[in-house]
Structure 1
Amino acid sequence: MNIILLSGGSGKRLWPLSNDIRSKQFIKIFKESDGSYESMAQRMYRSIKKIDAEAKVTVATSKAQVSTIHNQLGEDVGVSVEPCRRDTFPAIALATAYLHDVLHVGEDEAVVVCPVDPYVDDDYFAALKKLAELAEKGDANLTLLGMEPTYPSEKYGYIIPESKDPVSRVSRFKEKPDEETAKKYIAEGALWNGGIFAYKLGYVLKRAHELIDFKDYDDLYEHYGDYTKISFDYAVVEKEPSIQVLRFDGLWKDLGTWNTLTEAMSEKIVGKGEMSDSCDNVHIVNDLDVPVLAIGVKDVVISASPEGILVSDKTESSYIKPFVDKMKQPVMFAEKSWGTYLVLDVEKESMTIKVTLHAGNAMNYHSHDHRDEVWTVISGIGRTVVDGMIQYVKTGDVVTMQAGCRHTIIADSELQLIEVQIGKEISVHDKHKYKLEI
């Protein structure tokens, strides 16, 4: 199978565990049999590989998420990077061009597109495989996965099939109606559109060329910011006469809020936490190394991370975004392909960060104009390069870099250090990168 996983999200609805870099799909909250935790993205990728070990998986995402994707899914996963946000049609067009021009996938091969973050079970992945088979057969230009609706939702599009067969032609497709109209569609036997569909690669490539002026993947990427923001549903699905739908009545949930996420959790406490027996329908999700205690509260989610602390009624938690927008806080924790960083302290003229580098990885070779830096190695071994001079470092060693000097550190084992930035102007934009030659 060729699968495109759409990975977007602003990281606001599940604050403080999520941010612009670590969106909800990367939060490690689902407990495995060995006691470890995995994220929605890891769960999705693992399950795809379980049903098809040879599946070619490409994640369509923003530049900010690339390091986290490689950190969690490894280096073998394909990544189609959006230079800027342009909604699902340009994103799918770009990823399809990436498959064709970079990975050399043929125009007659089937491609399945789905979100990276639904909460599903094995039946869902069997349905993805069936979608690919139907698309490859070619009876329709688009094959959708239709979910059996449970209520007249206004946040989903509606697929109205011609029959009640497991696979049916589609008579109409309607985007996100109001509640009364949704009730009428459901009475007609409509299915929810979950944004999961399949096609032959050449079909979407042709539609992309009809709607966007570009030559190939490189040209599309270069001019991506010039294209109109539009969803795939509006640009393609609503205008396509040749569509079929595969019915699906298995587990499928959008865990987009704290309320829905906690419903899917197998335990009430993740991280350090305690609650009294008088608590009812309470979840604690703690990303900090300090305990959280809940006594006598009901229908509440408590979440703590380096970004902040949330205490919210579960139903009210869906209204979190405007409050997060007001705070405008910098990212305090992020996973990267090389490891992680955690901001420990921010003062007027200093910032203290804990950095973890995986073995064999290194920081960029870089310099700063307006700040000095001090590294203290707290575990592991590695090598620093400061203005071309190599020095071996171990636990307890301290390295000082003045503003303007070029520097990096290479981890020969798992390596942790405390980085203290000192200066009157501390900014993520104060950084120059260089090619390292040693």
Structure 2
Amino acid sequence: MNIRPVILSGGSGTRLWPASRRSLPKQFIGFPAIGSLFTHTLLRVAGLAGGGTPLVISSRQHGFLCRREAKNAGVEATYILEEGGRNTAPAIYFAALASEPDDVLLVMPSDHWIDDLGAFSAMVARATAPCTEGRWVTFGITPDTPATGYGYIEVEDRNDGVMDVASFTEKPDLATAQSYLEQGRFFWNSGIFMVTARTCLESFDALQPDLCGTADACWQARIVQNDEIILPRPQLQAVPSISVDYAIMERQENIALLPFAGSWSDVGSWDSLSSLIEKQTPQPTSPDQTIMVDTRNAFIHSSGRTIAAVGVEDLIIVDDDDATLIVRKGHTEKVKAVIDQLANIGNAAGTEHSFEYRPWGMFENLLDSAVCKVKRLTVDPGQHLSLQYHSKRSEHWVVVSGTATVRLGDETMILEPGHSIDIPLGAQHALGNDTTEPVIVIEVQMGSYFGEDDIVRVSDPYNR
């Protein structure tokens, strides 16, 4: 029997702001001591007995980040890339369509942490039998606190084997969570489950026929490019956006639950992430940038700036890019309120970094004003930006490091450090790196508009 890992890599992980934002969600960030959660997930499924090639479902925007993590982990994968997110239910339906009927889908988020890989592998092996009987099998986490940040699963009778699910409930208030803990028949919903592709499709056909109709039309319009399937935006927008819990799990009969005894975290807040990091290393995560004087029970994370704390306690301090978060331990679930307030006042720092990774490297915004925009472009070895032009701006490039290959109109030239070139408005141009060292270019944009949507691509090596 083939177990097919399905890794769901959607969402923006805003609860870990300011480190995690829309263009760089938490699963792709290399955190101190634990590394990347996406890589951790890939390595977790790579060693499964009977495990097939992982299927990663992500946004098309983040496809290259998924590939980068898979390459770094040395894991082969295939991809379904959505041009617009439609939540977990459509994603899982598409995974079933992309699989053989008897494949056992092992569905999991890309941003969770599981310490005991042996216990996880044993759970997967135990779950295959009820899956072959046509059941959905969910993994429940035995609660040790009255947590209000998780959904709960109630079972009919508590035992050490396969249990029958009675109900799914959303995140409760504290009093309800305390009663769940005392009753002993409730488990945290891990978001990890198994089901055969055949059973999955049958459940969707019975419980979500409208979703199936629009999703089938989208699947017929899919674009296949080597190891990836692209789901186009126009057809995808017609598919209902709904979670698998609402669409299937809360309505499906005969669901089984297996209790997971290993260490698990959804890494859904700075409280949980700081605790996880501190378990791996008791030392400060950035000793060269972190100074603590008369400070107790504090966690400080810095992406570069020096942070000094004097006479404080029970704080989490996160300085990342252009934003700083200071929050008392135990209150990090309220970070969402910060994001909401930043959105209300039009502050882009709530959702966007001042930098962004691209398939060819990255850019950093150094200055953004009404009359000009200045960026630092880093082009990785062997990579090229698209051949493009702009309708509302001209550009001036200065090479500060490496040897750049520049195309302007019909002419191709080599620019060394200190060389510069003007790119007139409307001129077709491209920047590339044909060497083994990074190329760094300072780009000055002049014009009436500097948005990323003023890029008209003539040709693109990344098929965007």
| In structure 2, distance between residues paired with 1:276 and 1:184 | 40
Give the equivalent residue in structure 2 for 1:287.
303
Q: Structure 1 CA distance, aligned partners of 2:416 and 2:458?
A: 25
Aligned to 2:70: 73
1:90 offset after TM fit, Å?
1.6
1:217-255 Cα distance to aligned partner (Å, 9 max, x none):
234845321233322112111222222222112111122
Q: CA deviation at 1:188?
A: 4.6
Change in CA separation of 1:397 and 1:66 when aligned onto 2, cut-off 3 Å: same
Deviation, 1:160, is 3.3
Amino acid at match of 1:156: Y
| Residue in 2 that maps onto 1:402 | 424
1:435 maps to 459
- Using the alignment, how far apart are the partners of 1:407 and 1:5 within structure 2? 37
Q: Is the 8 A contact 1:306 1:342 kept in 2?
A: no
Q: What TM-score, normalized to structure 1?
A: 0.87
Distance in 2 between residues matched to 1:242 and 1:53, nearest whole Å: 25
More off after superposition, 329-338 vs 244-253: 329-338
Residue correspondences, number:
424
1:44 aligned partner = 41
**Of the candidates 213, 224, 245, which is equivalent to residue 233 of structure 1?**
245
**C-alpha distance after superposition, 1:158-181 (max 9, x if no partner):** 333445444314141222264455
What is the Cα deviation at residue 312 of structure 1? Answer: 2.7
Letter in 2 for 1:146: G
Query: What is the DSSP-based 3-state SS (H/G/I as helix, E as strand, rest coil) of the residue aligned with 1:280?
Result: coil
* Among candidates 21, 24, 42, match of residue 22 of structure 1: 24
Q: How does 1:123-202 map to 2 (within 5 A)?
A: 123=118, 125-127=120-122, 129-130=124-125, 133-134=128-129, 138-176=132-170, 178-179=172-173, 180-186=175-181, 187-202=183-198
> Hey, what's the Cα distance between the residues in 2 that align with 1:131 and 1:389?
63
Specify whether residues 95 and 313 from structure 1 end up closer, same or farther in structure 2 by C-alpha distance, changes over 3 A only.
same
1:380 equivalent in structure 2: 402
Q: What residue is the counterpart of 2:8 in the other structure?
A: 6
Q: Distance in 2 between matches of 1:224 and 1:250?
A: 37
* CA-CA distance at 1:117 after TM superposition: 1.0
- 1:423 is matched with 447
Aligned to 2:226: none
User: How far does residue 205 in structure 1 lie from its aligned partner after superposition?
Assistant: 2.4
Structure 2: stretches of 5+ with no match in the other structure: 223-230
Output the amino acid matched with 2:284: K
Following TM superposition, by how much is the alpha carbon of 1:357 offset from its aligned partner in structure 2, in angstroms?
1.9
Cα shift readout 1:98-137 (whole Å, capped 9, x = no counterpart):
xx2xxxx31101111111111211245424642663465x
Cα deviation, 1:357-397, whole Å, max 9, x if unaligned, reads 22221111111111111222222234111113211233333
Work out the CA distance in 2 between the residues paired with 1:4 and 1:351. 41
Match for residue 109 of structure 1? 103
User: Closer, same or farther in 2 for the Cα pair 1:436/1:145, shift >3 Å?
Assistant: closer
- Which residue type is aligned with residue 213 of structure 2? D
Q: What CA deviation, in whole Å up to 9, does each residue of 1:275-303 have, x standing for no partner?
A: 13412122222223x42222222222222
In the alignment, the residues of structure 1 paired with residue 80 and residue 119 of structure 2 have an alpha-carbon distance, to the nearest angstrom, of 24
Of 156-165 and 144-153, the range deviating more from structure 2:
156-165
SS in 1 for 2:16: coil
- Quote the residue 2:202 is aligned against: 206
Identity value in percent: 23
Note closer, same or farther for the CA distance 1:134–1:407 as it changes in structure 2 (3 Å cut): farther
- The alignment's C-alpha RMSD in Å is 2.7
Q: How far apart are the structure 2 equivalents of 1:435 and 1:17? A: 33
Aligned residues of 1:70 and 1:337 also touching (Cα < 8 A): no
Paired position in structure 1 for 2:228: none
Further displaced range: 360-369 or 57-66: 57-66
> In the alignment, is the contact (CA less than 8 A) between 1:161 and 1:168 conserved in 2?
no
- Pick which of 426-435 and 296-305 moved more: 296-305
Tell me how far apart the structure 1 counterparts of residues 318 and 184 of structure 2 sit (CA, whole Å). Answer: 42
- Structure 1 regions of 5+ residues with no counterpart? 33-37
| Residues 381 and 167 (structure 1), Cα distance of their counterparts in 2 relative to 1, 3 Å cut | farther
Equivalent residue number for residue 227 of structure 2: none
Q: Separation in 2 of the partners of 1:60 and 1:425?
A: 34
Partner of 1:35: none
Structure 1: distance between partners of 2:176 and 2:316? 34
